[in-house]
Amino acid sequence: MERLKLTKLLNSDRVRGVLKEITGDINKVPRVQITYSLNNSTSQFRQLEANQQHYGQSSMQFQSNPPSYVYTKIKNDIFLYWSDDDWLADPEDVKEYLLTSLNPNFIKLNNHLSDYNHLDFIWGMNAA
């Protein structure tokens, strides 16, 4: 597995603090509840046939995968910030798919940041 590159702005102390809280005793109950609910009450609807039986046949053809999102239908101003060092948004996906799929009339800012990462928006040194 490729090691994730840490950016200069990532506040590793803040990340450690957040991870400590997430794994703390007080958070074990909600995690157990979420795990239980995902594995029991809704698991029957993960199966295609059970889902179709529960919700019924729609006028659209039933499909196993969700439809692709049509980005050209976005009619709001878009201010896009992205980086080659982003852990969550692959730069090739941004360049080859997202930017070519959006309506250019609504892209008000396309800001390619150097040495920045998704987590820097929340846990970076200059995050609010």
Tell me the domain boundaries of the chain: 10-59, 76-128
Local confidence band at 39 (pLDDT 50, 70, 90 cut-offs): low
pLDDT for the residue numbered 37: 56
| Band of residue 42 on the pLDDT scale cut at 50, 70, 90 | very low
Burial class (CB in 10 A: 0-12, 13-18, 19+), 80: middle
| Cβ atoms of residues 89 and 82 within 8 Å | yes
Mean of the pLDDT values across residues 63-83?
A: 84
Residue 110 pLDDT: 95
Q: Of all residues in the chain, what percent carry a pLDDT higher than 70?
A: 59
pLDDT digits (tens, 9 = 90+) for 56-68: 665 455 566 667 7
Q: Which band of pLDDT confidence, cut at 50, 70 and 90, is reported for residue 104?
A: very high
pLDDT of amino acid 125: 74
Q: What is the pLDDT of residue 54?
A: 72
Q: DSSP labels for the chain?
A: -PPPPPPTTB-HHHHHHHHHHHTSGGGHHHHHHHHHHHHTTTGGGGSHHHHHHHH---SSPP-SSPPPP-GGG--S-EEEEEETT-SSS-HHHIIIIIHHHS-GGGEEEEEEESS--TTHHHHBTT--
- What pLDDT score does 26 carry? 60
Which pLDDT value is given to residue 14?
73
